[in-house]
Amino acid sequence: MSFKAEYIWIDGTEPTAKLRSKTKILADSEKPAEGADLPIWGFDGSSTNQAKGHASDCVLKPVFVCPDPIRGGDDVLVLCEVLNTDMTPHETNTRAALAEVAEKFAAQEPIFGIEQEYTFFKGARPLGFPEGGFPAAQGGYYCGVGSDEIFGRDVVEAHLENCLKAGLGISGINAEVMPGQWEFQVGPLAPLEVSDQLWVARWLLYRTAEDFEVSATLDPKPVKGDWNGAGAHTNFSTKAMREGYEAIITACESLGEGSKPMDHVKNYGAGIDDRLTGLHETAPWNEYSYGVSDRGASVRIPWQVEKDGKGYIEDRRPNANVDPYVVTRLLVDTCCTALEK
Ligand code: ADP
Ligand code: MN
Ligand code: MN
Ligand code: MN
Ligand code: MN
C-alpha cells in the first residue's frame, strides 16, 4: 500500500515569497519513524524564481511533517526547506539562518505566539464588500456576530478544524475590523516550531478556502483608505521575561537601540510603510516606541504583564505578509543578545 505526501515549500517570488506544493506517492515501507526523515525530493526552480533554466534543479528537504487533514487517512503534509544540489541552503531559504540563531540562544528558551491576520477575497473584492460600493465603516465587525457583520465564517471554521486535525499549535481565531478580515494565532512555541507551523497553517488556509471558491490574502493593506491593514503581531518571551519585569524592559529597550528599529522594520514584510502610518492602531514605521497597553506603540507590554511583573511583549509592527523565519530570528537575535549581558 501507499500514502500521499504533499511536499510544501516557500518559493522565490519577489517581494513576498509564495507557497508551492506537489504530491509524492510513497510506499508504506518508506514511512519513517521520524517524519523529517521522509525522502528528499526536487523541483524546477526556474518556474518558481529560484533558479535559471540551464541549472534549474532545487532540492526539497523535509523539515516538518503532520497529518494531512484534507486527504485524511495516512496522508501527510511535508513542509520542506529548499537546498541547492550541493545540499547547502538555497539563497531563498530563510529557515537555515533562524536554525543557527535559535540554537545559539536555546538556553534562554525563547517562545512566540504569532497573530496572523488575513483577508478573504471573492473576485476582486473583499468578501462581504457590496458590488461597486463600500460596506458600513469599521466598528461593528471586530469579533462580531450575525450575517450583516460576518463574512466567511464557514471557511474560518473549516480552517480551524483542519489546523487542529493536523496537530498544529493554533491557539485561537477572531473576526477582524474589516468585513472579510480574520485572524488566527499560532503558539506559543519555540522559534522554528512556530514558524514551520505558521507556514503550514497558511497553506491550509489557502487550500481550505479553495474548496469554498474564496481566496485568502496576506496583503498588508488590502483596501486603501480608512480601513485597518493586516498585521502579524508577534508575541515574544524568554525564560527571564516570563520570570521578571527587568528582562521585559531590557527586551523593549534593546529593540530601540541604534540601527535596530530600521534593521527590524525593513524585514517585517513588503509594504510596511503603507500599513505603519501612525493611524489605525499602528506606530509610524520610522519611529520606535514601547508602552504598557499602548496599541499605538511599536511594542506593547500587555497590562497583565505589568501587573504580574512578568510575561511577554508584543511586537505590533510585522506585516501580515512577514516571513516568520525572519521576524523570529531578528527578535531572538536582538533581545537575547541584550539579555545575555
Ligand atoms: P491580542 O490581545 O493582541 O489580540 P492574541 O490573544 O490574539 O492577542 O494573541 C496573543 C498571542 O500571544 C497568543 O498566540 C498567545 O499564545 C501568545 N502568548 C501568550 N503568552 C505568551 C508568552 N509568554 N510568550 C510568547 N507568546 C505568548
Ligand atoms: Mn515535469
Ligand atoms: Mn489578536
Ligand atoms: Mn488582530
Ligand atoms: Mn495583537
Atom of ligand 1 nearest to the CA of 237: 24
pTM of the complete model beyond 0.95: yes
Q: How far is the CA of 317 from the centre of ligand 3 (A)?
A: 13
Residue 289: CB within 6 Å of ligand 1?
Answer: no
Average the pLDDT over each of 22-26, 172-176, 284-288 and give the range with the smallest value: 284-288
pLDDT for res 262: 96
Ligand 1 binding pocket includes 108 (Cβ within 6 Å): no
Q: Is 185 in the pocket of ligand 1 (CB under 6 A)?
A: yes
On the question of pLDDT at 63 being above 90, the answer is yes
Confidence of residue 225 (pLDDT cuts 50, 70, 90): confident
Segment 3-54, tens digit of pLDDT: 999 999 999 999 999 999 999 999 988 877 766 689 999 988 889 999 876 7
Pairing of strands 76-83, 57-67: antiparallel
Nearest Cα residue to 202 out of 170, 234, 178, 179 = 170
Sequence-ordered strand ranges (E) for 139-248: 170-175, 181-189, 215-217, 234-237
Q: Is 187 in the pocket of ligand 1 (CB under 6 A)?
A: yes
Residue with cell string 517581494? 15
Pocket probe for ligand 1: among 108, 116, 183, 235, the residue whose CB has the most ligand atoms within 8 Å is 235
Name the closest ligand to CA 46. 2
What number is the average pLDDT over the span 215-232? 93
Phi, psi of 308, rounded to the nearest 5 degrees: -75, -20
Mean pLDDT along residues 296-308: 96
What is the spatial distance between Cα 185 and Cα 187, in angstroms, rounded to a whole number? Answer: 7
Q: What is the mean pLDDT of the chain?
A: 94
Measure the CA dihedral 26/28/34/35, to 10°. Answer: 30
pLDDT value of residue 34: 64
Beta strands, E only, the chain: 2-10, 19-27, 41-44, 57-67, 76-83, 111-122, 125-126, 170-175, 181-189, 215-217, 234-237, 290-292, 299-301, 313-315
95 Cβ contact list (under 8 Å, min separation 6): 63, 81, 89, 192, 195, 196, 325
Q: List, in order, residues 6 or more apart from 224 with CB less than 8 Å away.
A: none
Region of poorest pLDDT, from 34-38, 69-73, 271-275 = 34-38
| Mean pLDDT lowest among 53-57, 89-93, 215-219, 264-268 | 53-57
Q: Which of 142, 176, 185, 248 to mutate to test the pocket of ligand 1 (most atoms within 8 A of CB)?
A: 185
In this model, does residue 111 exceed pLDDT 80?
yes
CA of 115 to the centre of ligand 4 (A): 7
Q: Which ligand is nearest the CA of 235, by number?
A: 1
pLDDT for residue 109: 98
| DSSP state, residue 231 | B
Decide if the complex's ipTM is over 0.85: yes
> CA–CA separation, 18 vs 218, rounded Å?
10
- The answer, yes or no, to whether any atom of ligand 1 lies below 6 A from the CB of 110, is no
Query: Residues 319, 268: contact at Cβ < 8 Å?
Result: yes
Interval between CA 33 and ligand 3 midpoint (Å): 36
Statement: residue 288 has pLDDT above 80: yes
Average pLDDT over residues 193-219: 98
Residue type, 101: V
Sequence letter at residue 47? S
Quick check: 128 and 180 in contact, CB under 8 A? yes
As a whole number of angstroms, the distance between CA 195 and CA 201 comes to 10
Measured CA to CA, the distance from residue 55 to residue 218 in angstroms comes to: 31
Helix (H, G, I), strand (E, B) or coil at 173: strand
237 lines ligand 1 (CB under 6 A): yes
Task: Round to whole Å and give the CA distance between 96 and 161.
Answer: 30
Condensed to tens digits (0 to 9), the pLDDT of residues 322-335 reads 999 999 999 999 99
For residue 69, report the phi and psi dihedrals to the nearest 5 degrees.
-75, -15
pLDDT at 313: 98
To the nearest whole percent, how much of the chain has pLDDT over 90?
83
For residue 308, the model assigns a pLDDT of 98
Residue 265 neighbours by CB distance under 10 Å: 21
Count CA atoms within 13 Å of residue 46 on its CB side: 6
Confidence tier at 295 by pLDDT (50, 70, 90): confident
Distance (Å, rounded) from C-alpha 80 to C-alpha 82?
6
- pLDDT tens digits along 148-159: 999 999 999 999
Q: Which amino acid is at 340?
A: E
The sign one gets for the Cα dihedral 85, 88, 90, 94 is positive
**148 Cα to the center of ligand 3, angstroms:** 22
Closest to 185 in 3D by CA, of 172, 204, 198, 167: 172
